Amino acid sequence: MSSPRRTATITAVGKYLPEKVVTNAELEESLDTTDEWIRSRTGIHQRHMVSNGETTSDMTVAAIRNLMEKYPLDVDKIDCIIVGTVTPDMLFPSTAAIVQQKLGASNAWGFDLSAACSGFLFGLDTGTRFIESGRYEKVLVVGADAMSAVIDPSDRSTAILFGDGAGVVLLEPCEDGSEGIMDSLLRIDGSGGDYLYMIGGGSRQPATAESVAKGDHFLRQDGRAVYKAAVKGMADISAAIAQRNGLKAENIRLFIPHQANQRIIDASAERLGLAAEQVLSNVAMYANTTAGTIPLGICDAVEDKLLQPGDNVLLAAFGAGFTWGGIYIKWGHTV
């Protein structure tokens, strides 16, 4: 008889949202926009924003401390810290290294993972393989972004869409394979790079006085092209991972999609045939926190007691790259 497959399961979650809240009405004061336009096109009502020098590593550490308030985690036992982010504190050293030091996690290694809005999903799959291999016992997977650091506050087409926040999950082994991350389907397609990017500050265009004057250190996007690709990409991959795991709408307890725009969420949910109560949506309150949205959604679902052991949960994301993916979880015993 073959021995059971060791899986990785989420045993604890944590989150952090900066104290400062910016409503649509406040954006009306500085941008040619309206609360009504933002709500009807995106579903967003408000977003949180870092202030007073707060960084992505600060938000990450606060989310991990929130997890540790609920779950006994000895920092010396953390094996690996994976931080999905496109707004690291600095290009290097990694945000993971800064977080390691702030936590005092003396036996950990780790790294940043750049996959934009799919950063948490790619990190979750990577952390899962680390646990499944038997090499590691405790892996923190973070999705954290301070999007306000890369948004042009005078560009109404992007400034309304994003917010700042961080979420984290702790992955540990489930030796009998009865719960945890069951399947993943992840993709990248670099031809999407023309539609959503930040050109300045890398090796292609190091920062200069001219590049800063042109605003090349800000995110740029073709909103319509991204919207079209996101609707199709997220709906297709959600349907594909559900189908290959034999999951029909009635077997899915909760769909936790990336939170960019309520219309993208609705299109994916409709494709899966899900009712509103099977779909987590918090885009109204947090806006698009890029890598943060899915772990924040998981954390909200746990706090609201929406999940029981044995529930089928689907995650799905789409973002810059293009990057996209879906993950199927058999829910476990999570705090």
Q: Which residues contact ligand ACO by CB under 6 A? A: 33, 37, 41-42, 117, 156-157, 160-161, 196, 221, 223-224, 226-227, 230, 258, 260-261, 288, 318-319
Question: Of 98 and 260, which CB lies nearer to ligand ACO in the complex structure?
Answer: 260
Question: Of 39 and 70, which CB lies nearer to ligand ACO in the complex structure?
Answer: 39
Residue 196, phi then psi, degrees to nearest 5: -155, 115
Structure tokens at 130: 């680390």
Question: Of 108 and 267, which CB lies nearer to ligand ACO in the complex structure?
Answer: 267
User: In 3D, which of 89, 98, 199 has the Cα closest to residue 145?
Assistant: 89
Distance CA 237, CA 322 (A): 13
Residue 205 CB, shortest distance to ligand ACO, in Å, is 21
Q: Choose the catalytic residue: 174, 258, 299, 312.
A: 258
Q: Choose the catalytic residue: 80, 117, 174, 299.
A: 117
Q: Choose the catalytic residue: 24, 66, 288, 312.
A: 288
Alpha helices in 273-322 (DSSP H): 283-286, 293-303
Residue 227 CB, shortest distance to ligand ACO, in Å, is 3
Residue 223 CB, shortest distance to ligand ACO, in Å, is 3
Clarify whether 117 is annotated catalytic: yes
Distance CA 67, CA 284 (A): 24
Question: Of 196 and 299, which CB lies nearer to ligand ACO in the complex structure?
Answer: 196
Residue 322 CB, shortest distance to ligand ACO, in Å, is 9
Residue 192 CB, shortest distance to ligand ACO, in Å, is 10
Structure tokens at 329: 């979880």
SS (H, E, C) 98-152: HHHHHHCCCCCEEEEECCHHHHHHHHHHHHHHHHHCCCCCCEEEEEEEEHHHCCC
Question: Of 124 and 196, which CB lies nearer to ligand ACO in the complex structure?
Answer: 196
Sequence-separated (6 or more) residues with CB below 8 Å from residue 48: 17, 18, 19, 20, 21, 22, 163, 164, 165, 286
Structure tokens at 200: 């300045």
CB-CB neighbours of 32 under 10 Å: 8
Residue 242 CB, shortest distance to ligand ACO, in Å, is 20
Question: Of 61 and 196, which CB lies nearer to ligand ACO in the complex structure?
Answer: 196
Distance CA 233, CA 312 (A): 21
Clarify whether 288 is annotated catalytic: yes
Clarify whether 66 is annotated catalytic: no
Residues tagged active-site: 117, 258, 288
